[in-house]
Amino acid sequence: MTPPGTIRPYQPRDRAALYDICLRTGLNGADATGLYPDPELLGSVFAVPYAELEPELTFVIDNGQRAVGYILGTADTATYIRRYQKEWLPTLTDRFPEPHGEPTTPDERIRSFLHHPERILHPELADYPAHLHIDLLPSHQGGGFGRALINRFLGTLRERGIPGVHLAMGRANHNADAFYRRLGFHELSIPAWPDILYFTQKTND
Q: Which H or E run contains 140? A: none
pTM: 0.95
- Give the integer Cα–Cα distance in Å for 129 and 12: 26
Task: Report pLDDT for 2.
Answer: 74
Residue range 25-45, pLDDT digits in tens: 999 889 999 999 999 999 999
The rounded distance, in Å, linking the Cα atoms of 159 and 140 is 27
CA distances from 113 to 44, 53, 54, 128, 154 (A): 11, 18, 20, 21, 26
**CA-CA distance, 160 to 105, in Å (whole number)?**
40
Q: What integer best gives the mean pLDDT of the chain?
A: 94
| Residue 135 bridge partners (DSSP) | 70
Angstrom distance (rounded) from CA 205 to CA 195: 29
Burial 62-93 (b: 16+ CB within 10 A, else e): bbeeebbbbbbbbbebeebbebbeeebbeebe
| Integer Cα distance of 112 and 61 in angstroms | 30
Q: What percent of the chain lies above the pLDDT cut of 70? A: 99
pLDDT tens digits along 121-176? 999 999 999 999 999 999 999 889 999 999 999 999 999 999 999 999 988 888 88
Measured CA to CA in angstroms, residue 9 lies from 57, 67, 72, 153, 185 at distances of: 8, 11, 10, 11, 24
- Cα 14 off chain centre by: 15
**Residues 130, 115, 39, 65, Cα dihedral to 10°:** -30
